[in-house]
A and B are shown apart, each in its own frame.
Chain A
Amino acid sequence: MRVDSTRFGPKQAEETELFVAPEGLPGLGGRIFVLVAPHGTEAPFWLQSVQDPAHALLLIDPSRLDPGYAPKPGPAASLFGVQESALLLRVVAWPAEEEGKLYANLFAPVWLSLEARLVAQTPMVGSGHELRVLFDLPSQG
């Protein structure tokens, strides 16, 4: 499948790279995304919208930012019909105005099933977590 991206240019995506967001990802068009992980899924990686070439989210392992962050995967596991242990937890990250810092969305973590190729963003209402949390860029760890 050919996928156009303002970041990566035209890309030929294999079926194994396509992820479905059953409930969509708020603000982004469509429900199908391409996982772009040039350094694997342990390193930061992207979810590129198939529908909108400009829409891609950069995802990062939140344990590199806040080791105590432990959202519950229940809703995503229920939505995907998989074991909680089969889910990969990531958060959306983007550069802050201040050099060397980033924002991460700890309010609405992103859960992925790499096996079922499903993705969901689940808000944690009442958790005290915020949509934009400022962090230093994580260092080697």
Chain B
Amino acid sequence: MLSLARREGQKIRIGEDIIVVVREIRGRQVKLGIEAPEHVRVLREEIHEEMSQANLEAAERADLGFFDRLLGAMR
């Protein structure tokens, strides 16, 4: 993993389109600003993990029996 030391107001550029700026450092918390194209998914890791868990739960629980019941209910 690449580690970079930055001060408040300084930036990091990722590729051509993404800029991360250190907006504020207060105690143990850092506030970051991120400029990225609309289509780039920027998420707190916790949210990505929750989405992953929901998808895995869905992939595990949705079976063909449920699919048939769903189709039957909608007909």
Contact = CB atoms under 8 A, between A and B. Distances in A.
Contacts of B71: 39, 43-44
A140 B62 contact: no
Interface in B19-75: 37-39, 41, 43, 47-48, 50-64, 66-67, 69-71, 73-75
Contact of A123 (B38, B51, B62, B66): B51
B67 to A, nearest CB: 6
B42 to A, nearest CB: 9
A57 B52 CA distance: 12
Given A43-B74, A92-B58, 16 more contacts: A26-B48, A43-B71, A46-B67, A54-B60, A56-B59, A58-B58, A60-B70, A64-B74, A76-B39, A93-B58, A94-B58, A105-B58, A131-B51, A131-B54, A138-B73, A141-B74
A27 B66 contact: no
A10 interface: no
B75 to A, nearest CB: 6
Interface residues of B, number: 30
A39 B67 CA distance: 11
Given A140-B74, A141-B74, A44 B55 contact: no
Contacts, number: 102
B36 to A, nearest CB: 11
A108 B51 CA distance: 8
Contacts of A93: 58, 62, 70
A140 B75 CA distance: 5
Range for the number of chain A residues in contact with chain B: 35 or more
B66 A58 contact: yes
A111 B48 CA distance: 17
Nearest to B75: A140
A113 interface: no
B10 to A, nearest CB: 26
A6 B47 CA distance: 28
A20 to B, nearest CB: 14
